A and B are shown apart, each in its own frame.
Chain A
Amino acid sequence: NAGVTQTPKFQVLKTGQSMTLQCAQDMNHNSMYWYRQDPGMGLRLIYYSASEGTTDKGEVPNGYNVSRLNKREFSLRLESAAPSQTSVYFCASSTADEKLFFGSGTQLSVL
């Protein structure tokens, strides 16, 4: 059972470039989340999706867009990357009683 799978694991971008982070879960969870974690800091919620076809902003949504493609997949897009978006990005899904399951993360550097 793979759980939550994120790709890629590492990525280096130049300022202004765009990219999409992919996330898929095989646990049949309705809710999915994107968090970012800056070095030495806690996790901050970027966007979440309560169910297929719905998305909503979290604490730090500026500069990001998301797509809930189907129940399994939830992607995060950076349209024009900035150095301030250098971070580790975690995707998660949750059970109905709010237990979160995380992917292994994507380490993103924007130069």
Chain B
Amino acid sequence: LAKTTQPISMDSYEGQEVNITCSHNNIATNDYITWYQQFPSQGPRFIIQGYKTKVTNEVASLFIPADRKSSTLSLPRVSLSDTAVYYCLVGGDYAGFQKLVFGTGTRLLVSP
């Protein structure tokens, strides 16, 4: 199983760009890299997913270097409502089964 490592916490201010990096040295060839956002008392919510290079959607960008051993979630111009825990998840198809294990996550605090 690919294990992920993220910073425990990050602080930012409204309007700034936030970059959260995740390390996944043991990523397998078939693994996707997926990021989730979790607010208190709610289940995690899908943000973005990628396999290699760069992916962008309406809320975030995901940068993945060629070796795929890390990835960076970029949140442009954060607001107070982006205060949440962000999880990087790397999982794959092991002998036909998916086994998606979460890391510790990064607690992002956005201040006015």
Contact = CB atoms under 8 A, between A and B. Distances in A.
Given A56-B97, A99-B34, A104 B102 contact: no
Contacts of A56: 97, 99
Interface string A40-76: 0111110010100010101100000000000000000
Contact residues of A: prevailing secondary structure? strand
A27 to B, nearest CB: 12
A105 B42 contact: yes
A65 B95 CA distance: 22
B106 to A, nearest CB: 10
A48 B97 CA distance: 9
Contact of B96 (A50, A94, A100, A101): A50
25 contacts: A4-B43, A31-B98, A42-B87, A44-B102, A45-B99, A45-B100, A45-B101, A48-B98, A48-B99, A50-B98, A54-B97, A56-B99, A58-B101, A90-B44, A92-B43, A94-B100, A98-B89, A98-B92, A100-B34, A100-B36, A101-B46, A102-B43, A103-B43, A104-B43, A105-B42
Question: Which 7 A-B pairs give the minimum distances between C-beta atoms?
Answer: A102-B43, A50-B97, A43-B102, A42-B104, A90-B43, A31-B98, A98-B32
Interface residues of B, number: 24
A5 to B, nearest CB: 12
